[in-house]
Every structure is written in C-alpha cells, then in structure tokens.
C-alpha cells in the first residue's frame, strides 16, 4: 500500500535539482510546471541513431553567469555557501560541480529545442517580443549593484535569454495543443483515511465491536490499539490499487470499514476526507503535466537524436560560486512564469 503520512500545515520549500524548478518549458503557455527538457534528454542521449548534425550552444558569459547565479543563490539563500564544497556523490563531485553539470544540460537542451523551433518555422511575434522586452527591463532593474557586479550581464543579454526561453515554451505549446491531455477529477482523486493495524483477526474484531458502540472515538482507540504508529494516511487513486487501498476508496465520508486483511495483518479504516480538494487539484495538475511531458517527448526525442549539441569549452571559465557574496537574486525563472501567467 503506497501511503503518505499527512502533516498538517507542512509548507515545503521548492527544491530538488536545477531542472525541477527552472526548466518548466510550457509552464507559461500551458499553465503548469514540468520537466519537459530534462525528461526528453534522458532518452535522446541514449538514442542509437548516429548524430548527423552538430551545433554549439551560443550563450554569452553574462548569460551563463546569470543562470549560474540564479541557481546558486536559490540554494545558497537557504543552505548557505558551505554547501558547494560538500561531496555530492560517490565519484567525489562537489555540489558545485553537480549543479554546473545540470545547468550545462539545461543549456544544451534549450538550444536543441530552439533549433527545433527554427526547423518548424516557429518564431516570436512583435507583440511577444514587446512583452519579453518589458519583462527583461523589469528583471534587470530589480538587480542590485551586487547582482550586477557578479553577473556582469547586460539588459540586452537578459532579453535574448528570455526570448530563447519563451520560444521553447511556444514550441511545446504548439506541438501538443491538439493532444488529449485532460485529467479527470476521478483519476486525480486524493482521500484521507485513519487506519488501525492488527496482528490477529481476534484483536481487530474486539476493536471493531468497540467502534460500533463509539464510532466517534476512532482516532483515540487507534492510538491505543493499532500496531502501526502511523494512523492518518493520504491516498491517491490509481488503477492498480491493492485490496487495502480499494477498501479505503469504497468508503463514504466518516464511514468505518469492516475488517480488511492484507499481507498477514488485519486493518480497520475510517474515511475522514472523501475528497481532499487541495491535494486533488495539485495532483490533477501534476498528472496533466506528466501527460504533456510524455506527448512532447515523443516529438522531441527523434529530433534530439539527430543533433549533437555541445557547450562551448569556456562555458564555466568565469563562474566561481565562492565569489559574489553581494549577489542574492534568484528569481529569473520565477519572474518569467509569474509575468506570463497573468
């Protein structure tokens, strides 16, 4: 049973790898966050096809430093600068080296998608360029002197980078706009149940008899008699649910189940939220994005398999995470998605 403990009021910080937050191609036009670029690249890199065409990413050092500073600060503003010298994997790579590798992958993939847009004949309109220009001005003017000193980026370079990012968004939107990507409330449904676990059926029957007399005290009885320390669970609907999950989803609001048996244990459940509205909405968005990602992968991967896109050899020459203590800006991508989701 795939169970998640519910923690009330747990507001988790956005985190994870670089691509999980920054690389959200299609987010602005499709309204959701996604992993399109990273997901595409994993399959494309292993493609057995011979790459007949080569290309090099064309980013200025200012643009490289802007992206590097954004992601460095996103972590550093939370975890401190001591993070970068810590070993991140068994190969001895530091967190700084790992993050630079992920950013390099992002730059390669962004270039690949822009090449794809060119071959598809997809371009930015004058109105779109005007909007991006306004955004670039807003971002550039928000930078502090410390940000500008470390990034050493011009407003024109900011504008150009936003244009590349917007073009990738536009390509994804146009390529999958006619796909059936709807997710129903039923398939995204999330419920909450309280659950007791017992080693024997006799124990479960005794507690069930008590519950029939005092159904309102389920949680207090569970805390005394359940063999499992966790009582409250959040469950997601799925097609391949086990018998215990099926039992939970068959319950109405505040209904208590009979005795369910699974893997040598007995269980009694109570549905305390037959439709978790917020969790269902979040899962619906996530499932929709997965469909969008998969739809784009099917188009992107054959194209990426024909190209060998490489970073310039001097890409990281001027990027040192130990420098620029006065640089704290971390909202380059956040500002983009906020601006174009209005």
Q: Can you read off the two tokens belonging to residue 3? A: 């169970």
Nearest Cα to 39, choosing from 67, 57, 59, 19? 19
Angle ∠(317,25,17) on CA atoms, nearest 5: 55
Query: How high is the pLDDT of residue 55?
Result: 83
Query: How high is the pLDDT of residue 1?
Result: 56
Listed in order, strand segments (DSSP E) in the chain are 4-5, 53-56, 190-198, 232-236, 260-262, 265-273, 307-310
Cβ atoms < 10 Å from Cβ of 198: 22
CA distance 151 to 328: 11
3-state secondary structure of 233: strand
Query: How high is the pLDDT of residue 24?
Result: 41
Alpha helices in 121-257 (DSSP H): 126-142, 145-151, 155-176, 185-188, 201-213, 218-225, 243-249
Is 216 or 190 the better-scoring residue by pLDDT? 190
- pLDDT category of residue 6 using cuts at 50, 70 and 90: very low
Query: How high is the pLDDT of residue 252?
Result: 97
Phi, psi angles (nearest 5°) of residue 56: -115, 140
Is 5 or 22 the better-scoring residue by pLDDT? 5
Q: Judge whether 87 and 98 are in contact, CB under 8 Å.
A: no
- Give tens-digit pLDDT for 98-111: 999 999 989 998 99
- Give tens-digit pLDDT for 100-151: 999 998 999 899 999 999 999 999 999 999 999 999 999 999 999 999 999 9
Is 317 or 9 the better-scoring residue by pLDDT? 317
Is 177 or 240 the better-scoring residue by pLDDT? 240
Query: How high is the pLDDT of residue 335?
Result: 94
Is 42 or 69 the better-scoring residue by pLDDT? 69
Please provide the average confidence, as pLDDT, over all residues in the chain: 84
């Amino acid at each position: 049973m795939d169970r998640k403990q519910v923690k009330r009021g747990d507001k988790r910080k956005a985190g994870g790898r670089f691509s999980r937050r920054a690389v959200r191609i299609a987010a602005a036009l499709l309204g959701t966050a996604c992993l399109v670029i990273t997901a595409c690249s994993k399959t494309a890199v292993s493609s057995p096809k011979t790459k007949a065409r080569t290309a090099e990413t064309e980013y200025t050092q200012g643009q490289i430093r802007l992206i590097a500073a954004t992601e460095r600060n996103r972590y550093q503003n939370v975890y401190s600068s001591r993070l970068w010298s810590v070993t991140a994997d068994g190969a001895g790579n530091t967190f700084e080296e790992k993050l630079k590798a992920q950013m390099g992958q992002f730059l390669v993939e962004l270039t690949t998608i822009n090449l794809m847009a060119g071959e598809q004949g997809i371009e930015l309109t004058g109105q779109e360029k005007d909007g991006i220009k306004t955004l670039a001005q807003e971002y550039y003017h928000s930078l502090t002197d410390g940000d500008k000193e470390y990034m050493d980026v011009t407003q024109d370079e900011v504008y150009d980078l936003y244009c590349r990012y917007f073009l990738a968004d536009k390509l994804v939107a146009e390529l999958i706009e006619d796909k059936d990507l709807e997710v129903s409330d039923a398939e995204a449904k999330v419920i909450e149940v309280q659950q007791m676990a017992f080693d024997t059926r006799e124990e479960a029957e005794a507690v069930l008899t008590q519950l029939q007399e005092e159904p309102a005290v389920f949680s207090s009885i569970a805390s005394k008699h359940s063999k499992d320390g966790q009582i409250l669970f959040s469950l997601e609907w799925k097609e391949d649910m086990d018998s215990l999950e099926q039992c939970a989803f068959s319950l109405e609001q505040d209904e208590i189940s009979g005795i369910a048996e699974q893997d040598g244990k007995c269980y009694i459940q109570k549905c305390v939220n037959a439709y978790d509205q917020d969790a269902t909405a979040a899962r619906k968005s996530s499932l929709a994005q997965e469909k969008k990602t998969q739809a784009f992968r099917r188009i992107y991967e054959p194209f990426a398999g024909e190209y060998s896109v490489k970073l310039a050899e001097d890409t990281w020459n001027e990027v040192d995470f130990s420098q620029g203590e006065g640089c704290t800006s971390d909202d380059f991508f956040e500002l983009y998605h906020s601006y174009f989701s209005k």
